[in-house]
Chain A
Amino acid sequence: MTVLSQLAQRRLTLFSVILITLIMSAALLAPVIAPHEPDMQFFDGLTIEGAPLPPNERFWLGTDLLGRDLLSRLIYGARTSLIIGIVANGAAVLIGAIVGITAGFLRGVAGAVLMRFTDLMMAFPALLLAIVLAALFKPSLWIVALVIAMVNWVQVARVIYAETVSLSERDFIVAEQSLGASPLRILLKHIAPHLVSTIVVWATLGIATTVLLEATLSFLGIGVQPPTPSWGNIIFENQTYFATAPWLVFFPGLAIVMLALGFNVVGDALRDVLDPTLKGRH
């Protein structure tokens, strides 16, 4: 059975794939499907007292404290989340894989130094480290992506390192070595292909972690800066209104949960399908 058909058999996974596809299409087609301009402050977007409007026929999910259409901001915010999720996490997985493979393949002093540095980075709480790094730079979309990549590569490095070490001790690698294969050939032909499934799993799960970290940084006011909409900074901007205008927290919150949930479920399912030792746990 192929990986795809195994994934499709699980209802929750199928639901998650659809969810991710919907959010991705919304992000790609944002200018076409968004009912309004995301930064447009509507004259009729606030009550006479100046409070945000609840969901209604004109503004489907209501308006925010500046009278902007929440749905349109959420659709454009999906771009922010996905760009950071894919770019920052892609960079984190790349750094982690390079560090892990290098340390696991070279071992010796170089490997030990790399892994002790990884252990050291593990000691820092991800959010606080990201806060410090974000404070060192002027926050922008790309800086936030960079900061998240600098924080999130650590776990990937550890997993890939452990995998590379255990692979290089297996009989078929030892046999290759005694046949006189060059280290580069062993690395590219025999070790790297076995790491692909681990990398795929972590690349998927990592997007969920990244989306959550971006939302949290933006909620604390040190992530993506308004007026660029991000699901985290929409809540940050509107949180003082949550008692009277709960939709301003509920809808962006739901969007974050759905996107992170989607990638967590798919990543978890991929791990089950790609790792034969986990068979029978479900």
Chain B
Amino acid sequence: MAAYLTRRIMQAALILLGVSFITFVLLYLVPADPARQIAGRSATAETVANIREQLGLNRPFYEQYWMYLTALLQGDLGRSYVQKTGIGELIGARLPASLLLMAAAIAAELAMGLTMGVVAAVRRRSAVDQSLMVVSFVGVSAPQFVVGILLLYVFAVQLGWFPIGGYGTAAHVVLPALTLGFLGAGWYARMMRSSMLDVLNQDFVRTARAKGLGKARVIFRHAVPNAVLPIIAMIGIDIGIFMSGIVVVESVFGWPGIGQLAWQAIQRVDIPIIMGVTLVAATAIVLGNLLADIVSFFVDPRIKLR
């Protein structure tokens, strides 16, 4: 067991090293010249050359990567040449808002998805089951900016139940969290349905029924807890899906997180910030997958140690 965990953690560390390399290569390939950006348009060639010297931009590729990597390990994500601020500080200041949004979105997608999945499995092949599965297909087929803008139109503009955007109160988090969670709810509904069907066909459920337990008790005390186990591990993987989603959802709702930071950086072609967010997101994904493996390992001892 310890060997399995050690191997998984080593793998994760190696992937993170690879992530840093690819991020660096992409930064290196960007056509914009950082020295020129810092110096401004009217700077002399000499000033630009000086800045290039200071930043080490004229050193060979591998030396620059080494500088980048050692800085990263000390928590230095580099600087934005447009905003002239450390990227680590920019991301650090906005991370709490994004984490709050993601936590709310996980709650939203689990509440919607698991309920839909259980109902669909229990009422298998009924009209309810079929309509819920259509809803789950719509959930995985609807782009988040469309869902977000339509929710804003109906619940903020027309009904006035929620603010049009922004950050601060509990009311602000509802629509962005629903938007971000809608996609996941579709996946969870389908996974929970098929997981429930598996469990409902197993002997212990038949025994519980044969003992004469009530239907509700069989479903909620026996079937649901077992069906939910393999699904809980998926939450780690959701982090990766959210990392793409927050760019869209935060820009639609004006939510001051790292997704909005990335979106503003896109508008200004501020590549170092986009790369910084990408690096943080990739790290979150690797750690999320590691978490998913560890959780499913503890939750379900039947999982083979690969």
Q: Provide the A38-50 mask, 1 if CB < 8 A to any CB of B, else 0.
A: 0000000000000
Does any Cβ of A come within 8 Å of B262's Cβ?
yes
Q: Which of A128, A222, A243 contacts B278 (CB 8 A)?
A: A128
Q: Which of B22, B153, B197 contacts A242 (CB 8 A)?
A: B153
Does any Cβ of A come within 8 Å of B138's Cβ?
yes
Which B residues are in CB contact (< 8 Å) with A63? none
Does any Cβ of A come within 8 Å of B75's Cβ?
no
Q: Provide the B136-147 mask, 1 if CB < 8 A to any CB of A, else 0.
A: 011011111110
Knowing A120-B18, A132-B278, A221-B267 are in contact, say whether A253-B149 is a contact too (CB < 8 A): yes
Which B residues are in CB contact (< 8 Å) with A216? 143-145, 248
Complex Cα distance, B271 from A127, in Å, reads 15
Which B residues are in CB contact (< 8 Å) with A246? 150, 153
- CB interface residues, B 241-270, toward A, < 8 Å: 243-245, 247-248, 251, 262-263, 266-267, 269
Knowing A128-B281, A136-B29 are in contact, say whether A212-B153 is a contact too (CB < 8 A): no
Q: Which of B14, B138, B240, B262 contacts A131 (CB 8 A)?
A: B262
Does any Cβ of B come within 8 Å of A193's Cβ?
no
Interface centre among A125, A256, A260, A265 (most CB of B within 10 A): A125
Look across to chain A and name the residue whose beta carbon is closest to the beta carbon of B29.
A136
Q: Count how many chain A residues have C-beta atoms less than 8 Å from C-beta atoms of the other chain.
A: 44
Look across to chain B and name the residue whose beta carbon is closest to the beta carbon of A16.
B137
Distance in angstroms from A84 CB to nearest chain B CB is 14
Q: Which of A127, A136, A212, A261 contacts B137 (CB 8 A)?
A: A261
- CB interface residues, A 49-91, toward B, < 8 Å: none
- CB interface residues, B 91-144, toward A, < 8 Å: 125, 130, 133-134, 137-138, 140-144
Distance in angstroms from A101 CB to nearest chain B CB is 21
Judge whether B153 and A249 touch: CB under 8 Å.
yes
Interface centre among B19, B244, B275, B278 (most CB of A within 10 A): B244
Judge whether B141 and A212 touch: CB under 8 Å.
yes
Complex Cα distance, B277 from A265, in Å, reads 33
Which B residues are in CB contact (< 8 Å) with A131? 247, 262, 266, 274
Look across to chain B and name the residue whose beta carbon is closest to the beta carbon of A12.
B134
Chain B binding site: helix, strand, loop or mixed by DSSP?
helix
Complex Cα distance, B140 from A261, in Å, reads 8
Does any Cβ of B come within 8 Å of A250's Cβ?
yes
Judge whether B266 and A256 touch: CB under 8 Å.
no
Does any Cβ of B come within 8 Å of A220's Cβ?
yes
Knowing A123-B19, A125-B285, A246-B153 are in contact, say whether A136-B26 is a contact too (CB < 8 A): yes
Judge whether B141 and A127 touch: CB under 8 Å.
no
Judge whether B143 and A124 touch: CB under 8 Å.
no
Judge whether A135 and B269 touch: CB under 8 Å.
yes
Does any Cβ of B come within 8 Å of A160's Cβ?
no
Judge whether A125 and B248 touch: CB under 8 Å.
no
Q: Provide the B6-31 mask, 1 if CB < 8 A to any CB of A, else 0.
A: 00000000111011001000100111
Q: Which of B22, B29, B137, B281 contacts A265 (CB 8 A)?
A: B137
Judge whether A124 and B282 touch: CB under 8 Å.
yes
Distance in angstroms from B149 CB to nearest chain A CB is 5
Look across to chain B and name the residue whose beta carbon is closest to the beta carbon of A119.
B15
Does any Cβ of B come within 8 Å of A208's Cβ?
yes
Complex Cα distance, B200 from A105, in Å, reads 39
Q: Which of B125, B138, B194, B244 contacts A127 (CB 8 A)?
A: B244
Judge whether A219 and B274 touch: CB under 8 Å.
no
Judge whether B266 and A243 touch: CB under 8 Å.
no
Does any Cβ of B come within 8 Å of A197's Cβ?
no
Does any Cβ of A come within 8 Å of B185's Cβ?
no
Which A residues are in CB contact (< 8 Å) with B285? 122-125
Judge whether A128 and B271 touch: CB under 8 Å.
no
Does any Cβ of A come within 8 Å of B152's Cβ?
yes
Does any Cβ of A come within 8 Å of B286's Cβ?
yes
Judge whether A126 and B275 touch: CB under 8 Å.
no
Complex Cα distance, B141 from A208, in Å, reads 7
Q: Provide the B277-301 mask, 1 if CB < 8 A to any CB of A, else 0.
A: 1100110011000000000000000
- CB interface residues, A 189-228, toward B, < 8 Å: 208, 212, 215-216, 219-222
Judge whether A128 and B30 touch: CB under 8 Å.
no
Judge whether B146 and A256 touch: CB under 8 Å.
yes
Complex Cα distance, B150 from A212, in Å, reads 17
Does any Cβ of A come within 8 Å of B157's Cβ?
yes
**A-B pairs, 10 with minimum CB distance:** A127-B244, A253-B146, A260-B141, A261-B141, A125-B243, A120-B18, A125-B244, A128-B278, A123-B282, A243-B157
The chain B residues found within 8 Å of chain A, CB to CB, are 14-16, 18-19, 22, 26, 29-31, 125, 130, 133-134, 137-138, 140-146, 149-150, 152-153, 157, 194, 197, 240, 243-245, 247-248, 251, 262-263, 266-267, 269, 271, 274-275, 277-278, 281-282, 285-286
The chain A residues found within 8 Å of chain B, CB to CB, are 12, 116, 119-120, 122-129, 131-133, 135-136, 208, 212, 215-216, 219-222, 232, 235, 239, 242-243, 246, 249-250, 252-253, 256-257, 260-261, 264-265, 268, 281-282
A-B contact pairs, 15 of them (CB 8 A): A12-B133, A123-B285, A123-B286, A124-B282, A127-B244, A135-B30, A135-B266, A215-B145, A216-B143, A253-B150, A256-B146, A260-B141, A260-B143, A261-B141, A282-B125
Beyond the given A123-B15, A128-B277, A216-B248, could you list 9 further A-B residue pairs with CB under 8 A, ordered by the A residue number? A124-B19, A124-B278, A128-B244, A132-B275, A135-B271, A216-B144, A220-B251, A232-B143, A249-B146
